Chains A and B, each alone.
Chain A
Amino acid sequence: MEEHKPMTTICEQDQHMVAAAQNILKGLASSKSISNELRKTLLDLEIQLSTMSTINERKGNGIKLLERELQFVEDRVKSLETNHISMASSSEYLKLVGEIQTLTQTLQQNFCSVNEKWKHKELVQRANEVMQVVMSKLEEELVQILVQNKQYFELDYMLFHSNSVDMVYDESYVSIEDEQINETSRSSDDGTIDLVNPSVLEDLKSIAKAMFGSNYHKEFCHVFIASRKYALDEYFVILEIEKLSIENVLNMEWYSLNRRIKKWIQAMKIIVQVYLVSEKRLCKQVLGNFGSVYQICFSEISRCSIFHLLNFGEAIAMRTHTTENLFCLLDMYEVLDHVAMDIDILFIEEVDSFVREEFHKLLRNFGDSIKSTFLAFRYAIATNPSNKCFPQGGVHHLTRYVMNYIKALVEYGDSLNLLLIDEVSTDPTASNDNSENSNLSYCSLACNLRQITTTLESNLCNKSKLYTNEALQHIFMMNNIHYMVQKVKHSNLCNFFGDYWLRRRVGMFQNYARSYEKVTWSSILSMLSDESVSTCGTKRTLKKKCKDFSVAFCEVYKTQTGWSVVDTELREDLQISVSQKVIHAYRSFTGRNSSDIDEKWIKYSVDDLQCCILDLFQGSSKSLHHS
């Protein structure tokens, strides 16, 4: 019937035919034996004919027909209402909407004479009234559909506990009603999922079309927004995102906050990249035909939840941070950075500029917190108090802490690089190197890391001054620099520090080793030198030399077995080097003077010495027996 349009010219003959047809239809429709369906069709046809007639000033009949049609609709609505037909009857209501709309249109197209004006008005009112009933039913139906067919998806438990930022989610979707995994709702390549059962999508679209078409769009949006918002809130509960006030967050112990931060990070990714993307798609699917409405609805649905997520971030960024917190901050920063693009796309509309700006503000806040915490780290190293000798001259806790810390930091290399870009001062240690194989060592993070180790070195230097034994100062420095070199060499750090840095540090700890040898051994070895012997080679001086050497060696043995060189290779290298020098000097001394030296003066054989030297730097003090 939609095909027919009121024609402007109908000739006299046609009018007769129309009248005849109308009579036939009227007769048929009044018959008791036909079905509702058929009667409806007949009445439709009749109405259409009457429309044609109206154009030709045959109004009386038209109005009557329209009234009958309206009466029929009203009856059916009443019966639907009284029979409490199940909610699955939305199609029935939708059909009625279509009919009422057509009726109303027809009424509007009708020109009526003065004496029929009253009747006409009444019919319009009745049509509005029955429309209101139907719309109100559709609204209930809409709530029902939205509530009963919402779906949530759950993350695989194991993946939920993974730390990787770029993890691929394996979502399994669970319908809220029967809690069974619903494979069919798994969807598409774009990473979105079905937040309502796709089988009701068409119903939703039809209801939207009917309600928008009848100017009941406000009711539709109100219900749609409220129930989708509710669903999103429930999802927060599923994700175990607890609402916390800023005051809560600021006063909370870090360890209990930590757990919540992990959940927040997960939620940020899932909510933004999966849930909201899907929500926007749903809005578009249902409301895409009505201009910008879907964007407004989406924005209203998602706003509060985003606001909650952002506020938790704000509260965390407001805390004063220790260096240990830096990793958490970086995790949070990276997830924000990771979803930033999605946020910009989701909230691309002008109405959502608020969300975008708030989001980027938070991202910047985190950047600033990270930067200041990072810079505070260097300050903390510089001001690490040096008031007690570190026992045995080994690798200081500070060195271990700093090196392990920065080793973990470079996992966040990309983010830190961007954040620290303004913090680079001229760094002479990187400049003279032409043979650099990795340009990473020029980046801002690399410069900052080198500054950190330089600060560490100068702090260590202060610490070494606390040793009264100069040799131990060198051992301490050698140990610590060597530790730094090892850490850098055997980790990602090597790319940032570069070969030049490494070569210089290797040179440094070797220098410390040489200085140690010089300080400890040169005076002892000078006892074995020939100068004094050649001029006055008396037995008495030889005897004294032998005795002095033994006493000095014994003393060195006693102190330096207690010193510690933890790294086996470094220790062995040092022992070999010492051994070579001492044994060589000793052997040539005893060899040269073999005729003049009494066996009894020789306390230690070459082998004895060699064994003793192997005991040095083991970290447990020993003493030689004075036999």
Chain B
Amino acid sequence: MPAPTENNPGSFLGRISIRRNQVMSMDGNHDQELEDLELFQKHVGDRFSELFSSTTEDPSSDALLSIGWLRKLLDELLCCEAEFKAVVMMGRDPSQISKPPLDKLLPELLDRVIKSLDVCNAVTLGLDAVKNLQRLAEIAVSALETRPMGDGQVRRAKKALNLLVTTMIHEDKDCGSTKGTERSRSFGRKGFNGGNKDRGGGSLRALSWTMARNWSASKQIHAMSSNLTAPRGAEATGLASPLYIMSTILVFVMWTLAAAIPCQERNGLSTHLPFQRQLAWAQPMIGLHEKIAEEWKKKEKKGTVGLLEEMQKMEKLGQSLTEFADSFQFPGDNERLDEVKVQVEELADICRKMEEGLEPLQLQIREVFHRLVRTRTEFLHVLDQAGKLSTPTM
């Protein structure tokens, strides 16, 4: 089998079909299987290594945890997932999948898949909250873009920015604890209590951004990763290996999404993921994880709406522009105004990125969702077949 060239990810589907034929014809050939597994590991390593290096080596590419980068991450997840299925499922006798150690590992993987589905949904809702922030930032931008800048426009911007910054903090608090859900639940039919002073648009925080009661992103991630152990001994060269790899990828991607995008209950989101340090394919993932975990630790103390690069920038700009608005006196200091002009342009740029990127990101998360659902169904089908084969009915 010709070694596929690394810098040609487009040939991926071709690889699968070639591989598939070979599996068909060489069923049971152990060497072939070993080769497949090695290739899979190599591809996973390559994919994440590219994600890793893009954030350090190439300043022109998408920054770590930016919308663009997350989309790349999801692309890689989808590719790895397809290849994983090709390795584990295609052309394989169902009975192989129902034998130990897979009889235990596969249900564990499927459980992680289910938990991933909920994480996908939680961040999809979180992106809606981000969209809300985008709207507020757009108000600030359009107010501060007006020339000449006067008190009216500055006050208008200040109002939006205040809401933006407080919403960011509140969002995280409310999303961060189930209190938010319960409080909203207790509304029942009474609706807003009339005396609520904090009546700006921001306080009309919708319940629809919340998941099920008591659902917690950090708990889910923890449950996904706690029983994740690398296969040892003979298992390390068998089918247990791709299952472990796929599980690791899922845990890592879901953890990253939860860290980046606001979602329900992230308090105590673990910064420790049980990676096997000596595995070559895991190195780039470990590198990425360390970077992100560091960011998370820094931000967690302050309380943050999420590590999404655009949102962090928005928060910084929001604070800086609020300071400007607080001290603004008509007609304003020219130097400061020029500074502000740059910042407003930056904020406008972020809004544009969000406008262009949030929707596709949401769609892509949904694609991951559907793909995982399908994979689960396919595996269940194979397990079902294996079950039928092992207990023949009359």
Contacts and interface: CB of A to CB of B under 8 A. Distances in A.
Contacts of A305: 208
B201 A139 contact: yes
A219 B121 contact: no
A348 interface: no
Given A176-B189, A318-B377, A226 B204 contact: yes
B121 A246 contact: yes
A219 B146 CA distance: 16
Contacts of A222: 132, 135-136, 139, 201
A386 B394 contact: yes
B128 to A, nearest CB: 6
A245 B118 contact: yes
Contacts, number: 149
A346 to B, nearest CB: 17
A237 B188 contact: yes
A304 B123 CA distance: 12
Give the size range of A's interface with the partner.
35 or more
Nearest to B210: A243
Contact of B393 (A218, A237, A250, A385): A385
Interface stretch (A27-35, A128-136, A183-191, A565-573): A128-136
B236 interface: no
Interface string A415-434: 00000000000000000000
B73 to A, nearest CB: 21
B218 to A, nearest CB: 14
Contact of B206 (A121, A179, A219, A226): A226
Contact of A143 (B115, B201, B206, B209): B201
Indicate the member of B202, B204, B370 with the most A CB atoms within 10 Å: B204
B121 A132 contact: no
Contacts of B207: 230, 233-234, 236-237
Interface in A104-133: 121, 124-125, 127-133
A307 interface: yes
Interface string B195-225: 0000111101111111111010000000000
Q: Interface majority SS on B: helix, strand, loop or mixed?
A: helix
A64 interface: no
B110 to A, nearest CB: 10
Given A226-B204, A308-B208, A125 B114 contact: no
Contact of A136 (B153, B159, B206): B159
Interface string A321-359: 000000000000000000000000000000000100010
A237 B187 contact: yes
Nearest to A125: B150
A165 interface: no
B135 A221 contact: yes
Contacts of A311: 121
A318 B373 contact: yes
B389 interface: no
Nearest to A318: B373
Indicate the member of A127, A234, A383 with the most B CB atoms within 10 Å: A234
A511 B348 CA distance: 86
B151 A125 contact: yes
B386 to A, nearest CB: 15
Nearest to B330: A125
Nearest to B370: A361
A232 interface: yes
A24 interface: no
Given A314-B373, A383-B394, A234 B191 contact: yes
Given A128-B150, A222-B139, A227-B204, A303 B128 contact: yes
B191 A176 contact: yes
Contacts of A308: 208
Contacts of A246: 114, 117-118, 121
Interface in B84-119: 114-115, 117-118
A304 B117 CA distance: 16
A343 to B, nearest CB: 17
B191 A131 contact: no
A233 B393 contact: no
Interface in A266-281: none
A341 to B, nearest CB: 23
B201 A125 contact: no
Given A132-B156, A304-B125, A229 B208 contact: yes
A176 B190 CA distance: 7
B322 interface: no
A354 B363 contact: yes
A128 B359 CA distance: 34
B147 to A, nearest CB: 11
Nearest to A179: B189
Contacts of B160: 219
B192 interface: yes
A191 B151 CA distance: 48
Nearest to A142: B201
A15 B129 CA distance: 60
A245 B212 contact: yes
B148 interface: yes
B371 interface: no
A387 to B, nearest CB: 9
A304 B150 CA distance: 38
A238 interface: yes
Contact of B189 (A216, A238, A248, A300): A238
B208 A128 contact: no
Contacts of B200: 139, 143
Contacts of B121: 245-246, 307, 311
Given A147-B191, A237-B188, A238-B189, A132 B155 contact: yes
Contact of A129 (B132, B155, B205, B380): B155
Contacts of A130: 152
Contacts of A223: 201, 204
A219 B139 contact: yes
Given A218-B138, A246-B118, A226 B201 contact: yes
Contacts of B187: 234, 237
Nearest to A244: B212
Nearest to A219: B139
Given A218-B135, A246-B117, A304-B125, A233 B184 contact: yes
Nearest to A143: B199
A121 B331 CA distance: 11
A487 interface: no
B179 to A, nearest CB: 16
Indicate the member of A124, A136, A233, A386 with the most B CB atoms within 10 Å: A233
Given A125-B150, A136-B159, A245-B211, A307 B189 contact: no
Interface string A202-229: 0000000000000110110111011101
Contacts of A608: none
Given A244-B212, A246-B114, A135 B156 contact: yes
A221 to B, nearest CB: 7
A175 to B, nearest CB: 11
Contacts of B366: 354, 358
B29 to A, nearest CB: 33
A234 B206 CA distance: 9
Nearest to B155: A132
A98 B125 CA distance: 40
A248 B206 contact: no
Given A143-B204, A354-B363, A243 B212 contact: yes
Interface of B: 114-115, 117-118, 121, 124-125, 128, 131-132, 135-136, 138-139, 142, 146, 148, 150-153, 155-156, 159-160, 184-185, 187-192, 199-202, 204-213, 215, 330, 359, 362-363, 366, 370, 373, 376-377, 380, 393-394
10 contacts: A131-B152, A226-B206, A230-B205, A236-B208, A237-B185, A245-B212, A304-B208, A318-B373, A354-B366, A386-B394
Pairs of residues from A and B, 4 with the lowest C-beta to C-beta distance, nearest first: A304-B208, A128-B152, A129-B152, A125-B150
Given A128-B146, A234-B191, A308-B208, 5 more contacts: A147-B192, A218-B135, A245-B118, A358-B366, A383-B394
